[in-house]
Amino acid sequence: MTTETNTSPIFSPLTLGGISLRNRTVRSGCFEGMSEGGLVTDRLIEHHRRVAAGGIGMTTVSYCSVSEDGRAFSHELWMRPEILPGLQRLTAAVHAEGAAASLQLGHCGFFASPSVIGRRPLGASPKFCLFRLSYCSQMTPAQIEEKTEDFARAARLAQEAGFDAVEVHAGHGYLLSQFLSPWTNKRRDAYGGPIENRVRFPAEVVSGIRTAVGPDYPVVVKMNQYDAMRGGLELDEAVEIARAFEAAGATALVPSCGFTAKTPLNMLRGRIPLWEMVRAQKGVFYKMGLSLFGWAMVQHYPFEPLFLLEGARRIRDAVSIPVGYIGGAFTKDHLDNLIADGFAFVQLGRSTIRDPDFVARLERGEITGSDCDHCNRCVATMSVQGVRCVAQEEGLLPS
């Protein structure tokens, strides 16, 4: 290892709440598609063990619904005591490789799949979901209280399973994001209207989790800088939301972007793998829907390095808790410069899908960045066959 690598900011240790990470890299929550029956599988465990062995500071298991009615797919984790033994095996495998493990907790809200949950989805307000061709019910105050308790219960179980942190998903158009966004929140009660009302439920969730897990346990909140569509959340309000999450007890924030049911690739950027998405679908109905209407559901956003930097800086400067960076960071210079710029850590997604050893190879000086070409075909297959680098399998990228 070179002297330069030894002093590299990204490879310095990080204290986050009551834990210490060996470096400042965090595997972002990338839906694995490896939880058949809503259970922890050997394939899921090996996936995260492999990323941990590849040098990551902390890996994030994605996505775990806090209740059965928050799922988009039948092969998504949903938190219940029955899956604790599997989760404990997963965290033990990650810890054995020297990394920490985080569990991403969320609820799909209005884009939950009616065929999976067996009922009408819940949302901030009544809303038609083009992705599901379904119409959700507006949550009552009693249901809001119930889901707040579900988040707290799920966090307690994650702690019991050996996870070093939880990541609350309040971005990307998931349920908490649906309350924050004026595009999905048309309520006229204490949970709708001005931003102080729209942030009430998400902040209550963070506060409830904080009470459940204690003062030192890391509670990371993933949130949106903006939703990327007309009538959606914008950066000025996101700054106020960040302050509310800090006041509610968040340990750290990760400002992202995009809305799964409206602007899904805004958070990724790069090629639209539409025909790969069509081919990956098992049902004729979904194949036809994507073929005919995919152009309206999946917009193109050209990839640019560090495409969320300006907004992330604004949010970082508005709070006193650590802020992690996500969005187009894929070289060692990017990572070092982000830490030197004041970000506490950097979340990595496709770089580690492309090469699970990405972080270790950077540290050893074998590479200076990822050769992922942002084709997004890993996204096209993750929900059906499990996440993997399709380009590498086809020999289009070196092994």
CA distances 269 to 63, 258, 350, 393, Å, are 20, 10, 11, 21
Concatenate the DSSP letters of all residues of 269-281 into one string: -B---HHHHHHH-
Alpha-carbon distance of 349 to 353, in angstroms, equals: 7
User: Rounded to 5, what percent of the chain is helix, strand, coil?
Assistant: 45, 15, 40
With CA atoms as reference, report the closest residue to 171 among 305, 309, 326. 326
SS3 readout for the chain:
CCHHHHCCHHHCCEEECCEEECCCEEECCCCCCCCHHHCCCHHHHHHHHHHHHCCCCEEEEEEEECCHHHCCCCCCEECCHHHHHHHHHHHHHHHHCCCEEEEEEECCHHHCCHHHHCCCCEECCCCEECCCCEECEECCHHHHHHHHHHHHHHHHHHHHCCCCEEEEEECCCCHHHHHHCCCCCCCCCCCCCCHHHHCHHHHHHHHHHHHHHCCCCCEEEEEEEECCCCCCCCHHHHHHHHHHHHHHCCCEEEEEECECCCEHHHHCCECCCHHHHHHHCCCHHHHHHHHHHHHHHCCCECCCCCCCHHHHHHHHHHCCCCEEECCCCCEHHHHHHHHHCCCCEEEECHHHHHCCCHHHHHHHCCCCECCCCCCCHHHHHHCCCCCCCHHHHCCCCCC
How far, in whole angstroms, is CA 382 from its chain's centroid? 14
DSSP 301: B
List the catalytic residues. 174
Alpha-carbon distance of 238 to 257, in angstroms, equals: 10
